[in-house]
Amino acid sequence: MTEKYDHKDIEKKWQDTWEKSGMYHSNNTSSKPKKYVLDMFPYPSGEGLHVGHPKGYIATDIYSRMKRMQGFNVLHPMGWDAFGLPAEQYAIKNKVHPSIAVAKNVAHYKEQLSDIGFDYDWSREVNTTDPAFYKWTQWIFLKMFEKGLAYESYEPINWCPSCQTGLANEDLEDGKCERCGTVVEKKPMRQWVLRITKYADRMLEDLDALDWPVSIKESQKNWIGRSEGAEIDFKVKNSDKIITVFTTRPDTLFGAAYCVLAPELVENGEWGMENEEEVREYLKQVKQKTDIERTAEGREKTGVKLEGVSVINPANGEELPLYVADYVLGGYGTGAVMAVPAHDERDFEFAKKFGLPIKYVVAPRIIGEGERAYRPNFETLKRKVTNVILENDKGQFLLLIENKKDFHFIGGGIEDGDTDIETVHKETKEESGYTEIEIIGDKFNPVSTLSFRTPKQKNQDIIGFFYYAKLKSDNKIFCEVDEGKHEIGWYDKDQIADLINSRTHKTAWLNFLSGRNQIFTGEGDLVDSAQFDRLSSEEAKKKITDFVKGRWVTKYRLKDWVFSRQRYWGEPIPLIHCEKCGVVPVPEKDLPVMLPEVESYEPTGTGESPLADISEWVNTKCPVCGGAGKRETNTMPQWAGSSWYYLRYMDPKNTASLVDKDKEKYWSPVDMYVGGAEHATRHLIYARFYHKFLYDIGVVNYEEPFIRLQNVGLIMAEDGRKMSKRWGNVVNPDDIVSEYGADTLRLYEMFMGPFGQAVAWSTKSIVGPRRFLERVWKMRDKVNESHDSKAEAVLHRTIKKVGDDIETFGFNTAISSLMILLNELEKQEGATKKDYETFLILLAPFAPHITEELWREIGNKESIHLALWPTYDASKCVVKEITIAIQVSGKLRDSIIVKADEEEDTIKALAIARPDIVKWVAGKEIKKIIVVKGRLLNIVVL
RNA sequence: GCCCGGGUGGCGGAACUGGUAUACGCGCAACACUUAAAAUGUUGUCUGCAUUUAGCGGAUGUGGGUUCGAUUCCCACCCCGGGCACCA
């Protein structure tokens, strides 16, 4: 030993030794507890790996190595996700068959991975394009077909004109193809769809119990998009037709101004409107727009009234016009809505454009505070108050003044009954004496207030209505002002807000200023809603729904999964079309339906898969009647294999079943799953759906596939952009491994920053971890045989820290604590053999090669990776002497070193006696002394 | 617009449950070794004022609040990242 640290020599040597020994192969039977640690398997592209790819694999490697040393039976497998467009496009470009390209890419990937020294059990390797594997991908599809979860549909779907295939909703990004960025078109075509929506509620509910990053859970929640509301029937006048709308706000039903149908509903129905032609023209225009255009910036509302057709509001019998407009989507809810302009932004915009009435039926609720807080033991007076904001020709506004301090607008209550124009005139006369006013517009935004009024010693539950009026003349009559009940005054616009005391009036004033008709989309108290007045929105939702015999329902944003692709490189969908028997599943015994060899696997452009051209493959017998049948020529999407591959690792060679029940029961579920956050709303949704289905048919014993999930943060290029061939900023791990060694690469990637966060690569900074390993290497020469450890406390703290940090994926801090330990050992001019061994074990998961070499060098016969993970002794973590900080009134002034178990009083006495402290305390009274055990002392002085 | 997550030195970042902010690493500077450079080692490195030393003040996006004490808790706002979005 003592030669230089030569990583090239060491790393190759140990990789070969480990491989030969089979020490990373996992047993399916063991008395040990299991730990299933999984990476999202890669898609082997032609480019090979860049340094960003292995980051997640390094993490699972560290985690699985520690778990193995802690006595777990570990499953840590790897495989290949190789069906799909990228492989096919690569093959077309390079003029090789996709299967050959895949084999080549896999070999390259595997070699690159091997150089980094992972502990994968390669005997369990899977490949989604292997017929022995995709047999089971097809089998799952058949089971779904059998259970009615796979169905044929002719609805228009997203079509990518560049990739020449239909896409699922999940494959879009801002209305563009996620792969190539082309704007997708709506295209009606025959397709296979999986009924994933049936699992929407379960997928949402079970999310809570998962130990996943909040951001991923949040994404899934948004994606599934649950909303609760009511389905309400509107009768079409003079017809037996019924329009069912979906609304989350049935409490606003009395404010409905019109109803809207989505274009699809109008197109597929007979509505008998008088302006048939105009409507057809509108539908035609709508069809030409892509989703992007339809929702583009500005997106002014468009629509056409169905002339001569009207519907009846079931709550009050009011007759409402009916429109068709593309702001209502056919694919959500019932495709029809009731529009309440006063309480919905979109309806408001539409109503303004088409001159439809705006009627307020929900008032925001203001609750009194402090003095004015509601008092439960006092009487509550319910009133409706009509208020008038009166303006004179000088642009001033009239306020009433009570007791010289209470300013408010004209207003008077009615115990029972309704507010109307007459009341406005009456109240104005009574309170101000003015007799000639002009009311401008309708009443606007009402406000509901619950507060306590001290003068009356009563609670008031008030609904305030506000009118705007202009003074026409100065004519006055004898009124309350003259009786001395209050005074009045005219004030300028900018004075009003400061003068008004009442929050209700202030709110109304602000509404008035910002243009009287402000929409209010929040919840509050009902007004102008007949017997439902004063109910809270929450209560009214249920009551009004019941009243109009509506149904309370749950809707989801999630759409069923468009599952067929018109491309070659995918699993054939195992169905046969027979003229006599219809769609018939391929019998299980005939699986897999092999993907045939083909001359040209380029897309046909006709919307048919290239498989359709292979007549000898397409033409087959119907398994039911024996007559002529044709095979389904669509293939499955790339996501099919990855939706269940993790189960196959448990039992990769099984020919009789997807996975053996006992093995599944032993290994399931995945304890730790690591991969990129970009899979939040695709792979992780699909896999959870598949898993729940497999649970329902008894293939798996646990409802969720992945209990714990950790996201890898991207490694960006040094220029801060994504690493890509396009930018020419790719760093190849092979180069780093060859120059600095795999151990350094591993250490560096884990040390860069928090694991889940994106960080920019810096080849400059990689020397840090390399220097650290050099020092670890040199430390071997300073190892002594003594039993007297000088670094006991640091050592035990490090054992705790490294173990805890690996558990929580805090690798950067784990490494930092190992660096601190090494610094300490160097300061001690050497380490005992025992301490050094412990240090090596702690480092082994991170840097498996160098630690193995040193471990053997100092006399160990068995691999360090089979050694026992050290345990720490909490009592030994404590140092004998500790530093106590001394603060005076929260400011740090001094510190003292005391014995760890020193009495509190002694510490106090010592602290007060310190010259620096005496200086700060002098002439002041010590109010109290706060002691934080083992940390600090705060002397509070006055 | 709604919902999440986050803002700390020149840089990546650390900080227990409210308790000495800036650990660890990079970079930089000085010194040692060297003919020299690299490598290595030692020391220093938030900032302002003061400066022989000691010292005093300020700083965790901004402004307030709670507290003996706030990066940590509360309120308002600004900025960055992500998800959803004409979803009724």
Query: In the structure, how far is the CA atom of residue A650 from the C1' atom of nucleotide B71, in angstroms?
Result: 46
| Strand B lies under 7 A from the Cβ of residue A285 | no
Q: What residue type is assigned to position A482 of the chain?
A: D
In 3D space, the residue among A736, A740, A749, A708 whose CA is nearest the CA of residue A846 turns out to be A749
Nucleotide nearest to A928 (CA to C1'): B68
A537: tokens are 């929105």
Calculate the alpha carbon distances from A622 to A138, A220, A571, A585 in Å.
Answer: 18, 41, 20, 9
A644: tokens are 């269940």
Lowest mean pLDDT among A99-108, A220-229, A312-321, A442-451: A442-451
Annotate A624-665 with three-state secondary structure. CCCCEEEECCCECCCHHHHCCHHHHCCCCCCCCCCCCHHHHH
Strands A458-471 vs A380-391: parallel, antiparallel or unpaired: parallel
Nucleotide nearest to A213 (CA to C1'): B5
Q: In what order do the strands lie in the sheet with A582-585?
A: A582-585, A575-578, A628-631, A619-621
Q: Specify whether the CB–CB gap between A676 and A606 falls below 8 A.
A: no
- pLDDT confidence bin for A416, thresholds 50/70/90: low
Q: What residue type is assigned to position A794 of the chain?
A: V
A861: tokens are 């016969």
Section A808-836 average pLDDT: 93
Question: For all residues of chain A together, what is the average pLDDT?
Answer: 92
pLDDT score, position A15: 97
pLDDT score, position A118: 97
Section A297-304 average pLDDT: 80
Section A213-226 average pLDDT: 92
- pLDDT confidence bin for A372, thresholds 50/70/90: confident
Section A821-848 average pLDDT: 93
Query: In the structure, how far is the CA atom of residue A896 from the C1' atom of nucleotide B69, in angstroms?
Result: 19
pLDDT score, position A878: 77
- pLDDT confidence bin for A417, thresholds 50/70/90: low
Calculate the alpha carbon distances from A613 to A93, A329, A608, A633, A815 in Å.
Answer: 21, 37, 9, 9, 58
Nucleotide nearest to A931 (CA to C1'): B19
Torsion over CA: A705, A706, A711, A712 (sign): negative
| Strand B lies under 7 A from the Cβ of residue A774 | yes
Tell me what percent of the residues of chain A surpass a pLDDT of 70.
99
Helix (H, G, I), strand (E, B) or coil at A765: coil
- pLDDT confidence bin for A866, thresholds 50/70/90: very high
| Strand B lies under 7 A from the Cβ of residue A302 | yes
pLDDT score, position A608: 84
Q: Specify whether the CB–CB gap between A811 and A750 falls below 8 A.
A: yes
Count the Cβ atoms, other than its own, within 10 Å of residue A410: 24
Q: How far apart are CA A708 and CA A705, in angstroms?
A: 9
pLDDT score, position A827: 87
What percent of chain A is helix, strand and coil (3-state, nearest 5)? 40, 25, 40
Residue A665: is its pLDDT beyond 90? Answer: yes
Residue A361: is its pLDDT beyond 60? Answer: yes
Give tens-digit pLDDT for A237-248. 999 999 999 999
Q: Which residue has the higher pLDDT, A615 or A874?
A: A615
Question: Could you please report the per-residue DSSP string of A698-759?
Answer: TS-SSS-SBSBEEEEPPEEPTTSSPP-GGGT----HHHHHHHH-HHHHHHHHHHSS-TTS-E
- pLDDT confidence bin for A570, thresholds 50/70/90: very high
Which residues partner with A243 through β-bridges? Answer: A234
**Long-range contacts, stretch A348-353, CB < 8 angstroms, 24+ apart:** A348/A519, A349/A300, A349/A301, A350/A260, A350/A301, A350/A303, A350/A323, A350/A325, A351/A257, A351/A258, A353/A300, A353/A301
Q: How far apart are CA A576 and CA A581, in angstroms?
A: 10
Q: How far apart are CA A709 and CA A720, in angstroms?
A: 26
Tell which strand B nucleotides have any atom below 7 Å from a protein Cβ.
3-5, 12-16, 19-21, 23-27, 39-42, 56-57, 68-70, 81-88
Q: How many residues does chain A have?
A: 942
pLDDT score, position A916: 82
Section A262-281 average pLDDT: 92
Section A76-92 average pLDDT: 93
pLDDT score, position A534: 92
Residue A584: is its pLDDT beyond 80? Answer: yes
Nucleotide nearest to A218 (CA to C1'): B4
Residue A513: is its pLDDT beyond 90? Answer: no
Tell me what percent of the residues of chain A surpass a pLDDT of 90.
69
pLDDT score, position A870: 96
- pLDDT confidence bin for A453, thresholds 50/70/90: confident
A153: tokens are 């549909």
- pLDDT confidence bin for A918, thresholds 50/70/90: confident
Query: In the structure, how far is the CA atom of residue A213 from the C1' atom of nucleotide B82, in angstroms?
Result: 12
Residue A68: is its pLDDT beyond 70? Answer: yes
| Strand B lies under 7 A from the Cβ of residue A935 | yes
Section A310-319 average pLDDT: 96
Query: In the structure, how far is the CA atom of residue A714 from the C1' atom of nucleotide B5, in angstroms?
Result: 16
| Strand B lies under 7 A from the Cβ of residue A228 | no
pLDDT score, position A420: 81
Residue A27: is its pLDDT beyond 80? Answer: yes
- pLDDT confidence bin for A75, thresholds 50/70/90: very high
Lowest mean pLDDT among A82-91, A120-129, A338-347, A902-911: A902-911
- pLDDT confidence bin for A842, thresholds 50/70/90: very high
- pLDDT confidence bin for A369, thresholds 50/70/90: confident
Helix (H, G, I), strand (E, B) or coil at A869: coil
Residue A591: is its pLDDT beyond 60? Answer: yes
Q: Phi and psi for A73 in degrees, rounded to 5?
A: -85, 110
- pLDDT confidence bin for A297, thresholds 50/70/90: low
Give tens-digit pLDDT for A708-728. 999 999 999 888 888 888 888
Section A144-171 average pLDDT: 92
pLDDT score, position A2: 52
Query: In the structure, how far is the CA atom of residue A82 from the C1' atom of nucleotide B47, in angstroms?
Result: 55
| Strand B lies under 7 A from the Cβ of residue A112 | no
Which residues partner with A887 through β-bridges? Answer: A892, A938
Section A839-868 average pLDDT: 97
Residue A936: is its pLDDT beyond 90? Answer: no
In a 13 Å sphere around the CA of A369, the CA atoms on its Cβ side amount to 6
Lowest mean pLDDT among A709-718, A778-787, A890-899: A890-899
Predicted TM-score of the model (pTM)? 0.92
Give tens-digit pLDDT for A9-24. 999 999 999 999 999 9
Nucleotide nearest to A300 (CA to C1'): B86
Q: Which of residues 515-574 of A touch strand B (CB under 7 A)?
A: 555, 557
Q: Which residue has the higher pLDDT, A473 or A726?
A: A473
Calculate the alpha carbon distances from A584 to A146, A315, A579, A694 in Å.
Answer: 10, 49, 10, 22
- pLDDT confidence bin for A880, thresholds 50/70/90: confident
Q: Specify whether the CB–CB gap between A598 and A614 falls below 8 A.
A: yes
Give tens-digit pLDDT for A617-654. 999 999 999 999 999 999 999 999 999 999 999 999 99
Residue A125: is its pLDDT beyond 80? Answer: yes
| Strand B lies under 7 A from the Cβ of residue A755 | no
Residue A462: is its pLDDT beyond 80? Answer: yes
Residue A666: is its pLDDT beyond 90? Answer: yes
